[in-house]
Amino acid sequence: MLNNTRVVLIISGGIAAYKSLDLIRRLRERGATVRAVLTKGAQQFITPLAVGALTAEKVYTELFDREAEQDVGHIRLARDNDLILIAPVTADLMAKMAHGIADDLATAVLLATDKPVLLAPAMNPKMWANPATARNVAALKSDRCSFIGPKAGEMAESGEAGVGRMAEPLEIVAAAEALLSEHVQQTAETLPLSGRHMVVTSGPTHEPIDPVRYLANRSSGKQGHAIAAAASAAGAKVTLVSGPVNLPDPADVTMIHVETAAEMLLAVTEALPADVAIMSAAVADWRVASEGQQKIKKDGSGAPPSLNLVENPDILATIGHHESLRPSLLIGFAAETQNLLENAKGKLERKRADWIVANDVSPETGIMGGDRNTVRIVSADGVEDWPALDKTEVARRLVSRIATHIGPAKS
């Protein structure tokens, strides 16, 4: 269950922190990638150097780390993982969690996360039995945090006996595996594309003529970006390959920015294999055979320069005819100004796509660059007409149709 998973391990202060070193080893034995966050208290017992040697990853200690926070580091730590594990967790850290305090890196990550959280408490028995701690534990359980331990036994630091010992590393690993298994099952029930990988292309491509000019089209990327966002919201792992657009990157997707058709084809093939590929980018059909190394100047004759054009690679056809990389569901777009259905049906057969999303992009429709779209879904089963819709609604309906067709990945 832990193979190929990403675990953020938060280590807080207490003598039990030494057990976290063995815990890291046990997690990595099972194939997990471990990124560690050490509180100031934890650093009194173990060093970032020791933890980093075992995780083989950067160790995070400071909320206001300028290098890490250039990419909103605490948000990335909170979201870019499958599980957050706190071992040991102290009474102080639990109190902060229960009351939404975020005054250091560990608490900021915990407040910002939407991932499963597993706590392994370790503290003096009287601290564990204190009514304030009991209230905090109850609050955290109601917030859907999970617990392993503490266990009964003798305390290392005081010689007292009672409930307060941190669970052993193998017990924590087993609890982590059980929690992830439960989370995967619940996610599959609520997110229809859970466990699926989807590759989406978006926007135009820019094919350079010289250092300052290029061939392009009027695609805004709004439809492709909306599809990527809708697929991510439905639980899919999404790779979005986008040409130059004036749009923010959708949340929780893997972004690959490209300029040309050749770069887009390379990025798409490197992102495969995938369960679904949606080729919604408006890729330029042509590029100049030889890009000018300097700006092409007027020569005073009044005659325009001669541009020798060659055909760009056809990304949809390349993927459609690929023996090993073709996804089980391949969807293309047909942006046409005439003979919409005829051209879409020809593209479906010629490029070995499963569905073609056809739309009329004549200037009077306002579709290319606009916020609304009118599409027709062409497949071997026939043609399905959709009404004029906002592009976000087109994306939602298309993703829903995909989910009905393939469903979540089998666990």
Q: Cβ distance 188 to 219 under 8 Å?
A: no
222 is in an annotated binding site: no
Quote the CA–CA distance of 312 and 315 in Å, as a whole number. Answer: 9
Quote the CA–CA distance of 344 and 7 in Å, as a whole number. Answer: 45
45 is in an annotated binding site: no
Polymer length in residues for the chain: 411
The conformational region for residue 11 under phi > 0 = left, psi -120 to 50 = alpha, else beta, is beta
Look up 217 and say whether it is catalytic.
yes
Is 408 exposed, middle or buried, given 0-12, 13-18 or 19+ CB atoms closer than 10 A? buried
351 is in an annotated binding site: yes
Cα separation values, 200 from 130, 222, 359, 377, Å: 53, 12, 18, 17
Instruction: Enumerate residues 6+ apart whose C-beta is below 8 A from 281.
Output: 201, 202, 203, 204, 205, 219, 221, 224, 241, 242, 243, 264, 315, 333
314 is in an annotated binding site: yes
Smallest CA-to-CA distance from 264 within 246, 249, 244, 236 is with 244
285 is in an annotated binding site: yes
64 is in an annotated binding site: no
315 is in an annotated binding site: yes
Q: Which of 81, 217, 308, 312 is catalytic?
A: 217
252 is in an annotated binding site: no
Please list the active-site residues.
217
- Binding positions: 285, 295, 313-316, 333, 347, 351
- Binding positions for CTP: 285, 295, 313-316, 333, 347, 351
